[in-house]
Amino acid sequence: MTISEADYRAMLARTQRQPASDGIGVDESDLHEMIAGYCRGRGWIALHGRMDCATGRTIGEPDFVILRDGGRVLLVECKSAKGKLRPEQLALSAWAEKLGHKVHVVRSMDQFKEVE
C-alpha cells in the first residue's frame, strides 16, 4: 500500500495533536473521546453511537445517553465551538424537554463537568 506525502502529513498531524485538557478548542471527535473516558473512569455506562457513519439510532438522538450513579441519566450532545444543532436534534431536544428531560449541549470538557 502506498500513501501520498500529503496524506502522510495529514496523518502525522492527527497523531501528534494534543487536545487541551479542558476540551476547549478540540474538535467534536476529541470531545467524544474525552467524555467516554471520563465516564469509564467513574464506572458509568455511556451509550454512544459512531460518528463516522449512519447507525440504527433514532434520528436526532443525542451523542451520549449516560447512566450514572444515583439513578441519574444524562442526555449529552457534543458540538464543536461553532457547531450547530440540526433540525432533527432540535426537535428531539424539544420533545425530550416536554417529557421532563434535558438534552445538554456541551462544547468543552468543562461544560460537560458542569452538567454531570
- Residue 69 phi, psi (nearest 5): -60, 160
pTM for the model stands at 0.74
pLDDT for 23-65, tens place per residue? 456 788 899 999 999 999 999 999 997 665 666 678 899 999 9
Evaluated on CA atoms 57, 61, 64, 68, the torsion sign reads: negative
Domains of the chain: 25-115 (3.40.1350.10)
Choose between 51 and 71: higher pLDDT.
Answer: 71
- Residue 57 phi, psi (nearest 5): -75, 165
Q: Which three cell numbers stand for residue 1?
A: 500500500
Q: pLDDT averaged over the chain?
A: 86
